[in-house]
Amino acid sequence: MRILVVEDDVNLNRQLADALKEVGYVVDQAFDGEEGHFLGDTEPYDAVILDIGLPELDGISVVEKWRSNGKAMPVLMLTARDRWSDKVAGIDAGADDYVAKPFHVEEVLARVRALIRRAAGHASSEIACGPVRLDTKASKATVNGVAMKLTSHEFRLLSYLMHHMGEVVSRTELIEHMYDQDFDRDSNTIEVFVGRLRKKIGVDLIETVRGLGYRMQAPADAD
């Protein structure tokens, strides 16, 4: 899962990015509205954390431009303002949720998890596919109740496939959501990670759709 953090406070931006990376997200960072708007307009993100009070271009204008360009990624708006009118303005501009400063980072992480789940059509913090369970809150996965030992890349791949269960996901889409913008991306590595996941899962849940990508779904006779 790939997140964009747009916050002009360098320390806060770093704090959020570090916390997100620690629980398994890939993070891109921007420090003003113009840079943030450009990244959100040209790169695919599973969610965006967007400050309302940004230099160059304010957060409300940024999200309005994204929505007018058809960008539908979930947006969590940060605001230092306590006026209800500012919160309403952010939601009306197209933001999906907001957090007022000062805040606990754990609350931001929880809201981001919820936005990503809802965008993918999942209500619970636990996503199941046959014997595999993905705990989005704890950033852990199990098979038949036994914890899976996954690398960070394997976990990101499994998480993305499970959030999009039943959908065919292309190699390009997986690469775009597993790596940040500066990573030297190689589509061949996806096949390697898929192979490793299949061995660790031990059940045939990841289907190769020839010429299109991969699809993860439980067997038809699964509970």
pLDDT tens, position by position, 87-131:
888 899 999 999 998 899 999 999 999 999 999 888 888 999 999
Query: How many Cα neighbours within 13 Å face the side chain of 82?
Result: 2
Residue 196 has pLDDT above 90, yes or no: yes
Residue 81 has pLDDT above 90, yes or no: no
**What pLDDT, on a 0 to 100 scale, did the predictor assign at position 189?**
84
**What pLDDT, on a 0 to 100 scale, did the predictor assign at position 207?**
95
The strand pair at 213-216 and 206-209 is best described as antiparallel
CA 61 → CA 4, 6, 66, 78, 104, distances in Å? 16, 13, 9, 14, 26
Q: Where in the chain is the domain with CATH 3.40.50.2300?
A: 2-119
Split at pLDDT 50, 70, 90, the class of 77 is very high
**What pLDDT, on a 0 to 100 scale, did the predictor assign at position 186?**
65
**What pLDDT, on a 0 to 100 scale, did the predictor assign at position 199?**
95
**What pLDDT, on a 0 to 100 scale, did the predictor assign at position 88?**
87
- Give the fold, CATH level 3, of 2-119: Rossmann fold (3.40.50)
Q: Which of 40, 52, 45, 31 is nearest to 99 (CA)?
A: 52
**Strands in 47-159 per DSSP E:** 47-51, 75-79, 97-100, 126-129, 132-135, 140-143, 146-147
CA 184 → CA 47, 103, 174, 178, 179, distances in Å? 22, 35, 14, 12, 9
- The share of the chain scoring above pLDDT 90, in percent, equals 75
**What pLDDT, on a 0 to 100 scale, did the predictor assign at position 18?**
97
**What pLDDT, on a 0 to 100 scale, did the predictor assign at position 179?**
82
Q: Which of 31-35, 53-57, 177-181 has the lowest mean pLDDT?
A: 177-181
Q: What are phi and psi of 159, to 5 degrees?
A: -60, -45
Segment 3-25 shows an average pLDDT of 96
Q: Where in the chain is the domain with CATH 1.10.10.10?
A: 126-216
- The share of the chain scoring above pLDDT 70, in percent, equals 94
- Give the fold, CATH level 3, of 126-216: Arc Repressor Mutant, subunit A (1.10.10)
**What pLDDT, on a 0 to 100 scale, did the predictor assign at position 37?**
98
Split at pLDDT 50, 70, 90, the class of 55 is very high
Per the omega criterion (within 30 degrees of 0), is the bond before 44 cis?
no
Length of the chain (residues): 223
d(CA 27, CA 29): 7
Residue 208 has pLDDT above 70, yes or no: yes
* pLDDT (tens digit per residue) in 135-186: 999 999 999 999 999 999 899 999 999 999 999 999 999 998 988 766 666 6
**What pLDDT, on a 0 to 100 scale, did the predictor assign at position 16?**
98
Average pLDDT, the chain: 91
Tokens of 145: 């109740």
Query: How many Cα neighbours within 13 Å face the side chain of 125?
Result: 12
Beta carbons within 10 angstroms of residue 57's beta carbon: 17
Burial code (b: 16+ CB inside 10 Å, e: under 16) for 160-181 equals bbbbbbeeebebebbebbbbbe
